[in-house]
Structure 1
């Protein structure tokens, strides 16, 4: 995007012009929020994240020294959904994701991750590791009687054998949660690092623990923007105080070079509740960090 002012960058992710689904890395929006349990509005998340990504188009990553926008990156637009129907929407998301090699999904609510994991593990033929940044464990068996919603994707992912819970780590957890839900999660073998545990440590130490848990086999990154404290990400449906600072999450991602990521999503950006675009920019930056990390790994 050299020579283009940031305010004039096209409204794709990082302003890329390619819509090739065969690119090495493919961005797609998943604008759905019918499974949210508090404030709706994440259907507008993909557009806001793309718009905020314009701030990341004017140079190389200052640590990995790659420019993701100049790599094999495409933005294929938004997935089609079934209006008002969670089950049918999940099936449509899975079918569209199945055709993409390395997908970066812009949510949308966190329930989309279940469909994305279904598609990915079918293609790989085995369960994968999971790095999950969030304020919430998202292992509730249901949400207010709803089987599929944004608080239950990993309950279903574990039960369906999509992820190996012994290679699953949750970072930044701090919300109210029934003890039975937490006990079930831990009993499956999931590693849970509370926000307080993370803040008492260092990004380098947390990154080392993440790499230790997921190991060398393929892993997926699911980044719920509410892992950040509302001071850094107010534009989300279920904000929880006491969260991570944006610099902490950014520093952790930069140090995950040993993890073999095969896909990513960033979810729960609700622009109607944002302030000065800071939530959308944080989400866009986490995707940019992921792409730069992948680019640096490819060069090694």
Structure 2
């Protein structure tokens, strides 16, 4: 039997085994610390431990979504292995595989998120890992187009749950959520272009130690259009292209040095408010959560972009441009959990460069745990068909 035939047979068996997907549990069923596979010959079973087998995010089922348009899901993980927009340390092209490796033990005890009182691996949502978008390392312009098109292919198809119900997209449909594993932070520009095709301008929560709104002539110069788009300028381009909602975006965790006060002025043109990392010393995690939620609201679609350098290098050394004075992993996870109720339509995590990690995989585990909080929030919110959209604010977004 051919490879395609085997895949078709497996896919058919999966569908028959799980029946109607509407409001069903995850396609893989409850994840346990041990998976059992039938042994050939004697018909027995073999325990598959969390440290064995092929790595997917949280040991989710892998399905080749990009090459099979009929695969459906509610939440999909997709990798974007791109790092040729970095200004300091490259290596984030290995981020997707590193994060997957760091996520292996998320299901060690079954995947239940105690603080959020939910299990994102065993819920109403069908969650899968779609693998990686094919990305060239020789042509940045073409690579960003590949990322946009690959992401939109995953984003624009009907979800498993409530696909026949209205949702907040431009076409009034319910769409799945996509969580992207980067990649350097340049990838957020093509991801926002894809999101814009589906939703129009969106509000952005940006966790980072850097502003990333620099004008190209300030950050690295701009000898060409290709060079002007990098991991420090992508929000400038996003603002120029009308991808962002005005005056609803927010940075959190900022602590970078600047070329001067004008950098803050330029940041204002892109519609961002700034929460400095050091503010945690005076207002605490609750104060930071309050600032973010007051800025972005709870009524409209929000995109979350998380640079792992939000964490202090003591907790996440494996990143492209580390900055001391950052938050701890515990503090970041607390802040992420505090965003429960925000209407997250998509997210990414970027700048994980495993080559600089410790042997204990501190950075990749921290990245995986942060995504565990994000996907838990998405699951608790329910299908996007239930988003509470404010008509006045929605019209304001369409008028931008």
* Global fold match (TM > 0.5): yes
Alignment of 1:125-136 (within 5 A): 126-136=200-210
Query: Once superposed, which parts of structure 1, at least 4 consecutive aligned residues long, lie more than 6 Å away?
Result: none
Query: Normalised by the size of structure 1, how large is the TM-score?
Result: 0.95
Alignment of 1:99-110 (within 5 A): 99-101=153-155, 102-110=177-185
Return the match for 2:103 from 31, 53, 56.
Answer: 53
Equivalent position of 2:20 in the other structure: none
Is 98-107 or 1-10 further displaced after alignment?
1-10
Larger-gyration structure (1/2)? 2
* Unaligned residue ranges in structure 1 (runs of 5+): none
- Measured on the aligned residues, the alpha-carbon RMSD in Å equals 1.6
Equivalent position of 2:310 in the other structure: 227
Q: Indicate the SS of the match to 1:164.
A: coil
Deviation at 1:83, TM superposition (A): 2.4
Alignment deviations for residues 123-150 of structure 1 (CA, whole Å, 9 cap, x no partner): 11x2110000000000112242321111
Q: Are 2:80 and 2:96, in contact at CA under 8 Å, matched by a contact in 1?
A: yes
Q: Distance in 1 between matches of 2:282 and 2:139?
A: 42
Aligned residue pair count: 299
Alignment partner of 1:208 is 2:290: yes
Alignment partner of 1:138 is 2:212: yes
Alignment partner of 1:286 is 2:286: no
Q: Are 2:95 and 2:352, in contact at CA under 8 Å, matched by a contact in 1?
A: yes
Q: Are 1:26 and 1:74, in contact at CA under 8 Å, matched by a contact in 2?
A: yes
Q: Are 1:28 and 1:78, in contact at CA under 8 Å, matched by a contact in 2?
A: yes
Q: Distance in 1 between matches of 2:287 and 2:100?
A: 31
Q: Distance in 2 between matches of 1:174 and 1:61?
A: 30
Q: Distance in 1 between matches of 2:365 and 2:255?
A: 23
* Unaligned residue ranges in structure 2 (runs of 5+): 1-30, 35-48, 66-70, 156-176, 222-226, 387-400
Q: Indicate the SS of the match to 1:132.
A: strand
Equivalent position of 1:173 in the other structure: 254
Equivalent position of 2:174 in the other structure: none
Is 244-253 or 144-153 further displaced after alignment?
144-153
Equivalent position of 1:271 in the other structure: 354
Q: Distance in 2 between matches of 1:3 and 1:141?
A: 48
Equivalent position of 1:122 in the other structure: 197
Equivalent position of 2:61 in the other structure: 17
Q: Indicate the SS of the match to 1:84.
A: coil
Q: Which has the higher contact order (CA 8 A, sep 6+)?
A: 1
Q: Are 2:33 and 2:50, in contact at CA under 8 Å, matched by a contact in 1?
A: no
Q: Are 1:79 and 1:96, in contact at CA under 8 Å, matched by a contact in 2?
A: yes
Equivalent position of 2:271 in the other structure: 189
Alignment partner of 1:298 is 2:378: no
